[in-house]
Structure 1
Amino acid sequence: MKSYIECASTVGLEWVKSSFSGTNGNCVEIASLPDGGRAIRDSKNEHGPALCFTSQEWAAFIAGVHAGEFPAS
């Protein structure tokens, strides 16, 4: 199974950038999927592929962020 969905599968999704994003265009955008998962894409390539995560995978990622598993470099 692919770890991403094609842009045709993301038609109609509402993409959101972080309020911390600047105006330089180097951002990621996130969208909620109908099944509760999340899709993430590069804001510079809105017609490109999007990484797709199940709701369980997304919850594990968020828990890891809160636990400090991804320190800033």
Structure 2
Amino acid sequence: MENHPYSDYWTKENVTPRAYVFMEAHDIKGVIENGIKTLYYVNREYGELYDLNNDPAERVNLWADPAYQDAKL
């Protein structure tokens, strides 16, 4: 995985958009790719899934929506 300096984001210089973002905090792991944000809770049967293209405020959790099941890892 290639590193990118955060200072470029603060100064808004030489910023290259990324195709994906990985995140992790305690027992939560997540990824944003192609406008889909997926959060997984370790040792849990549920999570969160948002279509950021159509719901940028993350108001509708699509985790149980059959149309988005392929978006889960």
Q: TM-score, normalized by length of structure 2?
A: 0.34
Q: In proportion to residue count, which structure has more strand?
A: 2
Q: TM-score, normalized by length of structure 1?
A: 0.34
Bigger Cα Rg: 2
Q: Larger relative contact order (C-alpha < 8 A, sep ≥ 6)?
A: 1
Q: In proportion to residue count, which structure has more helix?
A: 1
